[in-house]
Amino acid sequence: MAAPTKVEIYTRWGCGYCVAAKALLDRKGVAYAEHDITMGGAKRAEMLERVPGAMTVPQILIDGQPVGGSDEIHALDRQGKLNAMLGIAG
């Protein structure tokens, strides 16, 4: 059996795109680790190290690979590619 897909999302308080991205993951029943970078600090530095050049949130990683933000995961969902990336049958 395959290991569960690890999903991480870097967010900032009051970010509508972050809310939309999390809502999509929630609708799919996907667990994710949320890293709030509202106040900057170590998690923001970690995000920039993992996703060089990231200037906006959310930044979403699936199994450690950056996939972009809200627009990107919604586009992947419309293209029928997101479920496979998340390990969801169908």
What CATH number corresponds to the domain at position 26? Answer: 3.40.30.10
- How many domains does the chain fold into? 1
Average pLDDT score, the chain = 94
Domain-located, residue 29: yes
pLDDT tens per residue, range 26-60: 999 999 999 999 999 999 999 999 999 999 999 99
pLDDT-derived band of residue 5, with 50, 70 and 90 as boundaries? Answer: confident
pTM listed for this prediction: 0.93
Q: Give the range of the structural domain holding residue 28, as residue numbers without chain letter.
A: 7-67
Cα pseudo-dihedral 58, 63, 67, 72, rounded to 10: -70
Cis peptide before 58 (omega within 30 of 0): yes
Q: How far apart are CA 9 and CA 68, in angstroms?
A: 10
pLDDT of residue 44: 95
Is the pLDDT confidence value at 74 over 90?
yes
> Does residue 59 lie within any of the structural domains?
yes
